[in-house]
Amino acid sequence: MAVASAALPVNAVSSDLPELGDAAHEVLPPQLQRKLGAEFYNEIRLREPSYIDDPEVSGYVNRVGRRLVSASADPNGRFTFFVLRDRQINAFATFGGYVGVNTGLLLAARTESEFAGVLAHEVSHVIQQHLARGFMAAQNQQISSLASLALIVLAARAGGNTGQMAQGAGQAIQAANIQSQLAYSRDFEREADRVGFTTLAKAGYDPKGMADFFERLQKATALYENNAPVYLRTHPLTTERISDMQGRAHNAPYKQIRDSQEFYLVRAKLRVMESTPQDAMAEFETQLRERRFAHESAVWYGMSRAQLRQGNFPEAEKSLLQARKLASANPMFETLAAEIKMAEKEIGAATAIYREGYKRYPNDEAIMLGLVNALQLQGQNEAAIQIIDARINRGVRDPKLYLLQAQSYAALGKSVQSRRATAEAYALNGQTQAAVEQLELAQREARQFQEQSMIDSRLRILRAQVLEERKAANQSPF
């Protein structure tokens, strides 16, 4: 597809998008794409050591992602954003709306709009059906192995990410002849730029963020020579693309955009996670001494986290107090305050902080999980179950919740309920057969008719799902 280098106004972008549709959906139906993406994500979540299971980090990235999706051409699209501990600058989209982000990207972005610009680009890859369209093009070129192609498509997005899955995909990509696919992907990159730019602006971010970040990456390429950042290898940048983005940004209405407090707090937390506490402390101290920061409160917050890792609890509390003085209230301050008390073995004090935080921020996952953990440690499992049930009843389907529920039921000696909760966790992780086995054990132990009926009903659904999965596996060329 030919792309003109002249800049277009923001509202002109949608008019030159291609007709999508149906051809790509016929080759890879949305339901199959979602299934492939879910299987990939579950493998990452369960087996990839670099996967970050931190509700504050993943929660922030998902909030930015959902804001972008809501402003996109598919505002009701199902997306899941996740974070990998990897210093390489990279983000990648997989089938079914699963988008991975490296910690290196979050730390390299200087503004929230820069980070959101990369996410908008990846969201656009999904909405424009680039993976399915790439697969369709590969079919036309008679690439016969669907399994290899699936790995290739994932590798093209993951591009050398840490972890065994990405390494395996990298081996697959080396084994196939995909030079024409790489050329085809450059059209996808230009298209994702245009669509992502519109999405970024509509979501209320600074549209210059995308151009600024990509321009900085392009300038950095000369320093890397043959060892360019992963993002540059999987998302080939050209002068034409940079010029096009700069032109669009120049023509967009000027907006003064303030970065969220959470952006800086999450970056400070990641900086402590990514390095030794000593190195993190040295960096934060330098920033304070040289007055070189965008958000002073986040620097003190990072200091507090580094001091907590060092076991210097009094200083951690002092630094957190300083962070609070410099910024508005934030649930991340509450979780850190409680974590310090937990580290000091003051579980009662930590519970009180979590309880107060839960009242102020009832939807905050980190505070809720922290409170449940504190209650369980004190043997208050009935109270823990009430909090978990309240969240599940609001429609939250998270395997962590069911595993915590199973732990509390087991502590109360309620084996049947514990097995049922464990089964739901397995089912959400895509381990359907394991879920069936747990329910079969619960079925043998259940004594009440109503409970037996509920187990039987759920077993019928899961057994049918197992049969469908086996049938699909036998028929699929993957």
Q: How confident is the model over 36-67, as pLDDT tens digits? A: 889 889 989 999 999 999 999 999 999 999 99
How far from the centroid of its chain's Cα atoms is residue 107's Cα?
15
Q: What is the pLDDT of residues 279-325, one digit of tens each?
A: 999 999 999 999 999 999 999 999 999 999 999 999 999 999 999 99
Cα torsion angle, 325, 331, 334, 340, sign: negative
Residues 93 and 125 sit within 8 Å (Cβ to Cβ): yes
Residues 44 and 51 sit within 8 Å (Cβ to Cβ): yes
| Mean of pLDDT values over 260-286 | 97
Q: Which of 54, 59, 56, 133 shows the shortest CA–CA distance to 93?
A: 133
Q: Which of 219, 250, 289, 259 shows the shortest CA–CA distance to 110?
A: 259
Residue 188 CB-half CA count within 13 A: 29
Q: What is the pLDDT of residues 61-111, one digit of tens each?
A: 999 999 999 999 999 999 999 999 999 888 988 889 999 999 999 999 999
Q: What is the largest CA-CA distance in the chain?
A: 73
Residues above pLDDT 90, as percent of the chain:
62
The residues, ordered by sequence, that sit 6+ positions from 348 with a Cβ below 8 Å of its Cβ are: 378
pLDDT of 431 above 50: yes
Distance CA 245, CA 427 (A): 43
Q: What is the pLDDT of residues 203-261, one digit of tens each?
A: 999 988 988 888 888 776 555 555 555 555 556 556 777 777 778 877 877 778 899 99
Exposure b/e, 431-444, CB count within 10 A at least 16 = b? bbeebbbbbebbbe
Tokens of 469: 């999965």
Residue type, 190: R
Residues 214 and 245 sit within 8 Å (Cβ to Cβ): yes
pLDDT at 33: 84
pLDDT of 166 above 70: no
pLDDT of 412 above 70: yes
Distance CA 110, CA 216 (A): 10
What pairing do the DSSP bridges indicate for beta strands 80-84 and 91-94?
Answer: unpaired
| End-to-end Cα distance, the chain | 30
| Mean of pLDDT values over 422-432 | 97
pLDDT of 354 above 80: yes
Average pLDDT over all residues of the chain: 84
Q: Which of 92-96, 245-249, 417-421, 473-477 has the highest mean pLDDT?
A: 417-421
Q: What is the phi/psi pair of residue 98, to 5°?
A: -95, 120
Residue 208 neighbours by CB distance under 10 Å:
25
How far from the centroid of its chain's Cα atoms is residue 301's Cα?
23
Tokens of 66: 């959902």
Domains and CATH numbers, the chain: 10-251 (no CATH), 261-475 (1.25.40.10)
pLDDT of 121 above 50: yes
pTM, two decimals, is: 0.85
Distance CA 427, CA 201 (A): 38
Distance CA 47, CA 353 (A): 33
Distance CA 166, CA 155 (A): 6
The residues, ordered by sequence, that sit 6+ positions from 296 with a Cβ below 8 Å of its Cβ are: 288, 326
Q: What is the phi/psi pair of residue 229, to 5°?
A: -55, 150
